[in-house]
Chain A
Amino acid sequence: MMQPEDVRAALVTIARTEQAVRRTVLRWTVAPTLVTWGIVWLVGYLGTLFLARTALTYLWAGLVALGFAVTFGLQVFYERRVRSPIGRRIDLSWLVASGYLALWSSLLFPRDPHIASFVLVTGIMAGYVLIGIWLTRLMLVLGLFVTAVATIGFLLGPAAFALLVGLLGGGALIAGGLWLWWSGRDDAR
């Protein structure tokens, strides 16, 4: 005859295993991606404060290319261990959504990179908020925080925007990624 304690223990085992799987996925996909894009934002936006327009174009092109290369490299690496059709669809959705946002913000505000940057940053953060609702609260918090920072920066002007989004926005992404990595350290590889 099964005891209530046995039933509870089995349910706890299930819950713990599910949590371990979830943390492992976050640790090996979301965490390094956050750190990578945090570095891209930090370097890119701080570069905006110091570099000439031509140099900035090259800098951003290089950083974005690096960001996508690292993101997809990590995905390929992780897919050797966990193959998920949903994961691939999510990646593709991010690529399409980012491209769409970049295209429209540059077409709508070609002479005002300040507005275009604001639309791009807050658009991407809207994605974080949506993902955060069903994936992890950290993404939700990051999305709201960076949106608030970007809005304040936007109201204060281009230099403040670059400084705030670079330091606080990029910094928050890096910190969030490191926290995810750290919090999943006891679970498996």
Chain B
Amino acid sequence: MTLDELIHQPTRLQLMAALAALSPDSEVEFTYLRDLLGLTDGNLSAHLLRLEEAGYIRTRKTFVGRKPRTYIALTPRGRLAFVEYRTTLERLLSGQWAVREAENAIPHADGTSLDTGRSDQA
């Protein structure tokens, strides 16, 4: 199992999670994401560019009245990548737990389990 390193970066993970939390075909304004995640304009732009280059998001520039606005939406490819990323995380976690539980179930030669030191022969 490999994690998508592009999504795994903390800020981009928040960006992807925020966009994925909305219904498909939704698009959000640049300032909405900036305020939601507490980012600067430059920081947000840089991360959006990386995601856009990967084809995970698309941006649309328009005018509302005289004000320029940029809308951002998750692409189907981005949504799929995020779902896969999340599934991988959940599998990793459940897999690691399973390994740990298996390790704990094997008693040491002295009769203690691995992490608790509790004697199983008490």
Contact = CB atoms under 8 A, between A and B. Distances in A.
B81 interface: no
A11 interface: yes
A8 interface: yes
Given A86-B26, A188-B35, A188-B38, A7 B96 contact: yes
B105 interface: no
Contact of A8 (B17, B35, B69, B93): B93
A22 B14 CA distance: 14
- The binding surface of chain A is classed by DSSP as helix
Nearest to B25: A85
Given A2-B92, A10-B13, A13-B10, A84 B22 contact: yes
Interface stretch (A75-83, A130-138, A157-165): A75-83
B96 A82 contact: no
Contacts of A11: 86, 89-90, 93
B64 A22 contact: no
B31 interface: yes
B28 A81 contact: yes
A18 interface: yes
A86 B23 contact: yes
Given A2-B3, A13-B10, A82 B29 contact: yes
Interface of B: 3, 8, 10, 13-14, 17-18, 20-23, 25-29, 31-32, 35-38, 64, 69, 71, 86, 89-90, 92-93, 96-97
Interface of A: 2, 4, 7-8, 10-11, 13-14, 17-18, 20-22, 24, 80-87, 187-189
15 contacts: A2-B3, A4-B96, A4-B97, A11-B93, A14-B86, A17-B17, A18-B17, A21-B21, A83-B26, A83-B28, A85-B23, A85-B25, A87-B23, A87-B26, A189-B32
